[in-house]
Amino acid sequence: MEINVQRGDITNHPAKAIIVALYEGTAPTGPTAAVDQRLEGAISQLVKDGEARGKANELTLLHTFWRIPSPRVLVLGLGKAEECNLEKLRNAVAVAVRHLRSLGVDTIATVTHGADAQGLDPEACAQAIVEGAVLGLYTFQRHKKKDEDTREISEITLVEREATKLRALRRGVERGRILAEAANWARDLANEPANYMTPSDMAERAKAIAAERGLEFQVFERKDMEKMGMGALLGVAQGSHQPPKLIVLHYRGGKEGATPLGLVGKGITFDTGGISIKPSQGMEEMKSDMAGGAAVIAAMSAIAQLKPKINVTALVPATENMPGGGAQKPGDVVRALNGKTIEVINTDAEGRLILADALSYACRLGLSPIVDVATLTGAIVIALGRAAMGAMTNNEAFLDRLRAASQASGEKLWQLPMYDEYKEHIKSEVADVKNVGNREAGSITGALFLQEFVDNTPWVHLDIAGVDQAEKEKGVLVKGSSGIPVRTLVNLALSLAQKPLPKK
C-alpha cells in the first residue's frame, strides 16, 4: 500500500473515497465544511436529521454524483472535539479504512484529522492516521487459497493545503508507517501456526529482518547454552525435538561503549505445558506464546529504520515446551546462568525459566535498563482483563519512562506491586527459588521470580498475556495477534536516546 502526502484541496481529489471528520455535537467545520458546501449542504443536512452525529467511529457514506471528483465521501465520527486524542484517531481511521476496503474502494484521500480539533500536533496526527490505517487493514491469509474477490487498498493520500506543513506531515507518515509495519511483522510471526514457527523458523525470520535492516545477528545453539550454563532454558527445551535458539540482535546507534538498552522477549513457539500439561480446549492459542519475542525483534527492526542515537540489544530465548520422553519433570532442579538453582514445581511455568537465563545473560552483557516482554501468566487476564498489559518493576523512574512511551502508542499498561510479602510464595525447600507460588497474585509472583535474575539493573517486566491477542476486530486490532507492545518499545528507545535514564 502506498501512502503519500500531497499538497492540494481535498474537495478536488479524485480518490475513490475521501474521508472527512465530524465531531459530536457540532456542525461540519474546516475541510468537512468545504466538502459539505460542494455537496450542497448534504452533510449538514444529515447532521440536522440526526443521521450523522459524529459519535466516535460512526461512519456515514455519501455518494457525490459528480459534484466533486471523488465518487464517495465517508464522514467519520471522532466523538467530542475536546475529547479527541491520538488513540481515538488511530482507532477511528482503522474502522473507516476497513469499511472502505469492504466496499471495494482501492484509493483513499484524507486530511489530517485531529489537527483541527483541540490543536493536536499535525505531525503526531499524521502518524496516528497512518498507524490506524496500516494496523487496521492487517490480514493474515498465508495459509488460505486466494479469494477471487480479495479487496485491497492500494493508495492512501494525505491532502494538505498549506505547503509549510508538508514536511512535518511526511515525517509523521514515515514514522507511522515504520511503527505499524513493525507491529504487523510481529503479528505475522505470532499468527503463524507452530509447525511453521519453530525456534529455528523464528531465528531465520530474525536473521532475515536483521539483514534487511542492517542489525547484527547472533544465535546461540544448544551446545552454546550447555557451555554457558543456561540450565533453565535447556530444561524447558529438553522435552522437544526442535532445537532451542537464543536469538540476539544488536543495534548500534549510540556512542561506542555506551550502555545498551536491553529488550528481552519470551519465545515459546508452542506451550503445551510440558508434563504439567494444559487442557486441550484452547491449547491451539499457545502457538502465540512467542509474541513477546516477536515484539522485541520487530521493535529492533523499527529502531534500525528510525536510527535513534542509542545502543539496543534484543535477546529472545526460543524453544517449544513439550512433554516428550526427555522432558523435565515437576520437582526437577535446574541451575540458571547466574548460578541460582530453581525447583521446577510446574513445567507450565516455563516462560519464567527461559527468561531466567535470558535476563541473566542480559546482565552479563551489561545491558541497562532492561524490559522483558512475555505472555507470562493467565492470572494477568484475571487481574486486568484485555485492556492493559501488566507492568512490574524494581525501578519506578524507569517505569515512568515506559509509561510515557505506552501513552504515546495507545498500548495501555498498568502497574502491579512487587511487595516483599509476595516473595514468600516462591521460596523453595530444595533450591534457591521455585518457579510457581500458590494461585494468589500469580502475575506478581511470576515477576518476583524474574527479579531474581536481573541483579539491580533497572528493569520492567511486561506481562502481555491479556493483550497479545484480540478476539475480534476493534479499532486498530483485528482478530488474532495484536502486535502489542512493539510501538511502545520503539517509543521507549526513542525517548531514552533523547534523555537517558539517570544513573544512580
Q: Which of 263/464 has CB closer to Zn ion?
A: 464
Q: Which of the stretches 100-108, 112-120, 233-241, 267-275 binds Zn ion when contact is defined by CB under 5 A?
A: 267-275
377 counts as binding ligand BES under rule CB under 6 A:
yes
Task: Give CA–CA dist 319/266, Å, rounded.
Answer: 9
CA distances from 275 to 232, 321, 330, 396 (A): 16, 9, 7, 37
| Residue selected from 201, 320, 350, 372 as contacting ligand BES according to rule CB under 6 A | 350
348 counts as binding ligand BES under rule CB under 6 A:
yes
Contact 39, 64 (CB under 8 A): yes
Report the C-alpha dihedral over residues 92, 98, 100, 101, rounded to 10 degrees. 160
How near is the Cβ of 436 to ligand BES at its closest, in Å?
A: 4
- Residue number of the CB atom closest to ligand BES: 378
Task: Give CA–CA dist 295/75, Å, rounded.
Answer: 34
| Residue selected from 58, 87, 201, 348 as contacting Zn ion according to rule CB under 5 A | 348
CA distances from 107 to 13, 19, 439 (A): 11, 11, 52
> 3-state DSSP helix/strand/coil percent for the chain, to nearest 5?
40, 20, 40
Compute how many residues bind ligand BES; rule: CB under 6 A.
14
Give the residue carrying C-alpha cell 466533486.
68
Phi-psi region of 157 (alpha: psi -120 to 50; beta: other; left: phi over 0): beta
Q: Which of the stretches 36-44, 134-142, 253-261, 371-379 binds ligand BES when contact is defined by CB under 6 A?
A: 371-379
Task: Give CA–CA dist 419/444, Å, rounded.
Answer: 9
Instruction: Write down the catalytic residue from 16, 101, 177, 352.
Output: 352
Task: Give CA–CA dist 84/122, Å, rounded.
Answer: 13
Contact 302, 492 (CB under 8 A): no
Partner from Zn ion, ligand BES, none binding residue 312, C-beta < 5-8 Å depending on class: none
349 counts as binding ligand BES under rule CB under 6 A:
yes
Q: Which of 245/287 has CB closer to ligand BES?
A: 287
Among 355, 337, 378, which Cα is nearest to 292's? 355
Q: Which of 58/350 has CB closer to ligand BES?
A: 350
Active-site residue flag, 352: yes
**Are β-strands 155-160 and 245-252 bridged in parallel, bridged antiparallel, or unpaired?**
unpaired
How near is the Cβ of 268 to Zn ion at its closest, in Å?
A: 5
Q: How far is CA 30 from the centre of its chain?
A: 34
452 counts as binding Zn ion under rule CB under 5 A:
no
Q: How far is CA 321 from the centre of its chain?
A: 23
372 counts as binding Zn ion under rule CB under 5 A:
no
Q: Which of 313/377 has CB closer to Zn ion?
A: 377
Residues within window 383-442 making contact with ligand BES, judged by CB under 6 A: 436, 442
How near is the Cβ of 93 to ligand BES at its closest, in Å?
A: 29
Q: Which of 123/350 has CB closer to ligand BES?
A: 350
Active-site residue flag, 266: no
351 counts as binding Zn ion under rule CB under 5 A:
yes
Q: Which sign, positive or negative, has the C-alpha torsion 259, 265, 266, 267?
A: negative
269 counts as binding ligand BES under rule CB under 6 A:
no
How near is the Cβ of 286 to Zn ion at its closest, in Å?
A: 7
Instruction: Write down the catalytic residue from 222, 252, 278, 340.
Output: 278
Name residues whose C-beta falls within 8 Å of residue 279's C-beta, 6 or more positions apart in sequence. Answer: none
463 counts as binding ligand BES under rule CB under 6 A:
no
Return the C-alpha cell found at 97: 479504512
Please give the residue ranges that form the binding site for ligand BES (CB under 6 A). Answer: 271, 289, 346, 348-351, 375, 377-379, 436, 442, 465
Contacts with Zn ion, residue ranges (CB under 5 A): 268, 271, 289, 348, 350-351
Positions marked active-site: 278, 352
